[in-house]
Amino acid sequence: MEIEVNRSKIQKIQDADKIAAGEVVERPANVVKELIENSIDAGAKEIRVIIKKAGKNLIQIIDDGIGIPPEEIAIAFERHTSNKIRCIEDLDTLNSLGFRGEALASIAAVSQVEIITRIEENVRGVQLNIEGGKIVNRTEVSSPVGTNIKIRNLFYNIPARQKFLKKDSTELGHITDIIQRYSLAYPNLHFIYLHNELTILNCPASNDLKTTVFHIYGKKVAKFMESITFQDAGFKISGLLGHGEISRNDRSISSFFLNNRYIISDLLFRAIQEAYKGVLMIGKYPFFILYLQLDPSLVDFNVHPKKLHIRFENEEYIYNKVYNTIRGFVEERFIEKEDKYTKTEISKYISKSKKELESEIYLQSKHSEEILSEFEEKEKIMDVEKFIIQEQDIVEKQGGIEESVQLHLTDHGRTQKVIGKIIPETFLREKYINTKTLPRLRLISYTGQLSNNIYIVLEGINDNGEAGIYLLDQHAASERIKKEFFYNLDAKAKQTKQRLISPLNIEVAPSEKFFLLANLNEINKLGFNFEHFGGNTFILREIPTIIEKLPNIEIIKELISDITEIGKERSFSDVKEQIINYLACHKSIRGGDALALKDIRKLILDLSNCKDPFHCAHGRPTLRFISFKQLDKLFKRTL
């Protein structure tokens, strides 16, 4: 992943107007990106990035590259000058990151620039000071080989542009993202990144990409990534692919590098997403860091002002090649060899042995009438579905139960004796009645929850006094309850938090760290008490009481990642409702969750206490009503 450095003279580009021009400088991160690319193109082995006040006050890049000759340094700050290409045709053989010759000129026009640079052939370097695009000072100075450039007071001469910069945590998040991407793209380079004299990232040079991943994303992510290398004529793909255990809710966290350049390509993302089909949960995206090497003449980098989006000469070929390569790897490592990831953690999920289940079923059958009588006296209901549904074959072997057993149901008890056996009613309910004349029919569960575990059938009377049937969407109802819980936390902070006996140490990405630090008070109001421990580590001491059990660390990391993504462009107050909606949805009962009678009753009572019990956090209905009058009309009992 090294770029070969051949010194070429900086001069004007011919036909520069044919090169896709772009407003290079929109925010501090754009400056950082352009200057890092220059350092890489200059053959630097170490790149130090120093930031103050999220780049608004200072952006400083120090490298040990080849430097700029004294006679060319002034020309470098003129528009459309470059030592990387001479004309538009050179784009067909492009192997450098920069090529437009706009960056330094655009940066110098909106900031105060100081650059010190020296080439190896000279004993002394040269210092240039530029303000608003004009050179105000030039002098010889002592300096090491390489370049040290400082960009101060960005947009100082364009107050309107300065006014539209985002808050520091947002701008710093964008800068951190850029530096992380280039650390991944060039693990053989040493990147050092400081903000306000605090070290944010220190990735020593290493040819092992996993080591770099460890420094940026932590041990867990590095552990669940597998190396991939495939080479064919004119095509090479390499890097790391993540197991489904570290899949993400957002695809933007993954990185794709084409000829060492970070790019965004819907085509490539679709190919990889499709290749992971069958191993990821719905709504999840694979996490990967991939490098694709292609003949530059097959790629057009000149289609986007920021050089992020590209166009392929033969998109179908690229899609199929990437898909087939990744799919083969996924099948080999994440399907056929899945046991590698599950065998050490599966024990706590293993169900009871068959003997234990048979014993439970026997005891349940023997005492079911006595238990039922006791529960009826206490107005409670026995839930026997948990083992009956899982082990139907055992019951059938014991009792020889036939499909038509439901025909023996009565209204006087919860069990029936068939061929001398006591059959729990829940088992009877799940069996279809098979006849030649009717559709396959069965009774709904005694809880009223339908078999898809999404809707619950209830009977009730509406505001107009009409009796009928209500259908409750369990996820929508739970979402509304959770949303109002988080909204009410400000007033009930003490009563709605629970302290963890053993606090959780949470390691986050650098960009997530800045979001947390900037919004600790606001996040605390939502019931999550985070304390900054140091570096990229936070301690979680309290969680909302609505989270009934200790959450998995990975769930907390996912929450942090997602709310950081929601809030990275705007202030927390602007996205507070969106974050609350996310938390409400994330912690809610899901469609597909089986609920006991007590859970359904609690769901209804909690929903009744909501200010708006009829809509979920996203505006969907929680309840739908069908009156008996409507049913009468349906069956032609009334006109």
* Angle, CA 231 vertex, CA 226 and CA 234 arms, to 5°: 140
The DSSP secondary structure of 390-436, one letter per residue, reads: HTHHHHHHHH---GGGGGG--SS-SEEEETTEEEEHHHHHHSPBP-S
Q: Residue 459 pairs with which residues in a beta bridge?
A: 469
For 279-297, write each residue's pLDDT tens digit: 887 778 999 999 999 888 7
Rounded percentage of the chain residues whose pLDDT exceeds 90: 23
Q: In the structure encoding, which two tokens stand for residue 108, read together?
A: 């110098």
In this predicted structure, the answer to whether residue 122 has a pLDDT above a threshold of 70 is yes
- Longest Cα–Cα distance of the chain, Å, equals 105
Nearest in space to 541 (alpha carbons), one of 497, 500, 505:
500
Q: Are 26 and 169 in contact (CB under 8 A)?
A: no
| Domains of the chain, first to last | 11-207 (3.30.565.10), 211-341 (3.30.230.10), 354-430 (no CATH), 497-544+547-586 (3.30.1370.100)
d(CA 201, CA 194): 7
Q: Once rounded to an integer, what is the mean pLDDT over residues 427-455? A: 77
Q: In the structure encoding, which two tokens stand for residue 234, read together?
A: 């004119």
d(CA 277, CA 286): 10
d(CA 249, CA 252): 9
Q: Once rounded to an integer, what is the mean pLDDT over residues 546-575? A: 70
Which residues touch 47 (CB under 8 Å, ≥6 apart)?
36, 39, 40, 61, 62, 63, 189, 190, 191, 192
How confident is the model at residue 56, as a pLDDT? Answer: 94
Q: Sign of the C-alpha dihedral, residues 497, 500, 503, 505?
A: negative
What amino acid occupies position 78? E
In this predicted structure, the answer to whether residue 401 has a pLDDT above a threshold of 50 is no
How confident is the model at residue 519, as a pLDDT? Answer: 82
**Confidence grade of residue 48 (pLDDT, cut at 50, 70, 90):** very high
For 178-188, write each residue's pLDDT tens digit: 999 999 999 99
What amino acid occupies position 607? L
d(CA 81, CA 71): 14
Q: In the structure encoding, which two tokens stand for residue 402, read together?
A: 């036939």
In this predicted structure, the answer to whether residue 307 has a pLDDT above a threshold of 60 is no
| Residues listed for the chain | 639
How confident is the model at residue 338, as a pLDDT? Answer: 59
Give first-to-last CA distance, the chain, whole Å. 78
Which residues touch 618 (CB under 8 Å, ≥6 apart)?
479, 581, 585
Q: Are 578 and 562 in contact (CB under 8 A)?
A: no
In this predicted structure, the answer to whether residue 343 has a pLDDT above a threshold of 90 is no
What amino acid occupies position 201? L
Q: Sign of the C-alpha dihedral, residues 168, 157, 24, 66?
A: negative
More confident site: 315 or 98: 315
For 91-114, write each residue's pLDDT tens digit: 444 455 644 456 788 898 899 999
Which residues touch 349 (CB under 8 Å, ≥6 apart)?
none
For 358-397, write each residue's pLDDT tens digit: 444 444 444 444 444 444 444 343 344 443 344 444 444 4
In this predicted structure, the answer to whether residue 582 has a pLDDT above a threshold of 70 is no
In this predicted structure, the answer to whether residue 132 has a pLDDT above a threshold of 80 is yes
How confident is the model at residue 400, as a pLDDT? Answer: 39
How confident is the model at residue 78, as a pLDDT? Answer: 82
**Confidence grade of residue 543 (pLDDT, cut at 50, 70, 90):** confident
How confident is the model at residue 8, as a pLDDT? Answer: 57
Which residues touch 580 (CB under 8 Å, ≥6 apart)?
483, 486, 487, 526, 617
Q: Are 151 and 111 in contact (CB under 8 A)?
A: yes
Gyration radius of the chain's alpha carbons: 32
Q: Once rounded to an integer, what is the mean pLDDT over residues 44-63? A: 96
Considering the chain, what is the average pLDDT of its residues?
Answer: 76
How confident is the model at residue 286, as a pLDDT? Answer: 92
Residue 81 DSSP SS3: strand
d(CA 470, CA 347): 41
Rounded percentage of the chain residues whose pLDDT exceeds 70: 69
Q: Once rounded to an integer, what is the mean pLDDT over residues 435-458? A: 82
Q: Give the relative orientation of helices 209-217 and 168-185 as an angle to the nearest 10 degrees.
A: 170
Strand 11-12, strand 529-534: pairing: unpaired
Query: What are the helix (H) ranges across 157-265?
Result: 159-163, 168-185, 209-217, 219-223
Q: Once rounded to an integer, what is the mean pLDDT over residues 397-419? A: 40
How confident is the model at residue 9, as a pLDDT? Answer: 58
> How crowded is the C-beta side of 52, counted as CA atoms within 13 Å?
9
Nearest in space to 83 (alpha carbons), one of 605, 130, 69, 2:
69
Q: Would you give the DSSP letter of residue 4?
A: P
Lowest mean pLDDT among 234-238, 273-277, 591-595: 591-595
More confident site: 194 or 551: 194
How confident is the model at residue 72, as a pLDDT? Answer: 87
d(CA 54, CA 172): 5
**Confidence grade of residue 229 (pLDDT, cut at 50, 70, 90):** very high
d(CA 346, CA 514): 35
